[in-house]
Structure 1
Amino acid sequence: MKLHGIIPLLLTSLLAPAQTPKRPGEGARLVVYVDPGHGGEDTGAKGPRGLREKDAVLDLAAALARELEASGMEARLTRDADAFVPLWDRARMANQAGADLFVSLHLNAARTRAAKGSEVYFLSLGAGDRESAAIAAQENGAGPGPLSPDPANVVAGILDDLAQEAYLRESEKLAVAIQAQLNRLGGVRQRGVKQAPFVVLRGAAMPAVLVETVFISNPREEARARDPIFLRKAAQAITQGIRHYFAGVEATPRRRPQG
């Protein structure tokens, strides 16, 4: 059978039939896979007063997990310690668990210390605009380990694109819902929802977003990222965005757990 005949069959097995998603408190709990970016040898960006991105997002992830659980959802983390997880493995973990959503947490950085605010991204299968592509390149190029799956596995690469493309519209809705709540945080300026070719989002067969919570390069925002009270507020905002997303969803494809 030719490759173009195999792909639809494989995609059918990859995606479960569309169904109305369960809301918190209705039967099986929604599963949100939370990805604290970087870790281990990959420190991520570093603030002017020494805060490392990998540490701040791990604290934020723990706060987000608590808020999600308190809201009736099930939270799982790609890492819960200072360890590096290859970028492609992060989405694969969510896929294997049959997660409903994938949220990758990061802190932004800019050459100018005046840059501030939150940005929420969903995947672009193209290059994206210059600024977004530069941010994605920074996140994609950091840390040890492979950035892409086995190049010999052509079918897997095509399926990654097809599966993610099926969720781009839902990912955009999720990004908008989370961004709206982050904009409500006092002093956090709206920067808007954007698209960029983040590797960590590429293989997720579910709605997936990457949240750049604050600018670690801004001394004031770096201080916020150290503050447990602010991290809790940010976690609450993200959780509220997720709840609003599910409240507005009528039918979302669900991923079957893989062995």
Structure 2
Amino acid sequence: MLTIQNTPNHAGVKISGDYFDLDELNKAIYHVIGDENKYHNYTGSRTRLLGIAYEIRHAAQGDRNIEPVFNGMTEHIKKQHRFIAPDKNIYFSAEVLWPEILYAIVALNDFVRLHREDLEFPDWDPELHLIRHFQALVLDCLHGQVPEEQYQTILKTFSQTPTVKDYAVQYIDFLNLKFIDMAKQQRENTLPAVAVKIAVQDNDYQAFRQQVLTAATPAKKAIHEIQFKAEYPEQIDW
């Protein structure tokens, strides 16, 4: 079963499941975002989603975290059916920073919409349902970290997000690095505001985007091609 949990120090979420859960989610992300030539002006957002898919794929391959999880096989069931079986399954997991995963949820709204337009019967597409389930799990995890009134506001904003077409994805690096530098309590207190900030593309984002566009103009580069000149730490206090 796919699960999303807050990390101990509120830096992000832990995406967990068995091999098949994670492999299925990874394939669904690839299915919905399409190949690199399909949706122009969404290259930056597609790249960010591929980064999360990369973590999920490596988690499924055992390159990230591995943990035993109780599978419901009690001693009573073993005796009842007269066989020997383990009482734990192996789950794999990987962590993703809160700003990164929240932006992924917003960006997936666009990719879901675009993908639905390509299908004759989108309501019967299993990958679309899996993506919506993934989005709902992330927001449900967020629900456990913020007051109810703030959560209802967040739900409303995430249901009415503007398009991420030509989004300045460098802004997510900016938010990620700020979040990493915060203490646990500050992360917890700031999380609702970060969620809304990403969902509504507020004045801070618009000012940041204008700076990126200014940098892109002389070289005639696309907005996603401008490098964010800051490095992530090797270790994160998850």
TM-score, normalisation: structure 1? 0.27
1 or 2, which has the higher helix percentage? 2
Q: Which has the higher contact order (CA 8 A, sep 6+)?
A: 1
The structure that is strand-richer by fraction is: 1
Task: Name which one, 1 or 2, has greater alpha-carbon Rg.
Answer: 2
TM-score (norm 2): 0.29
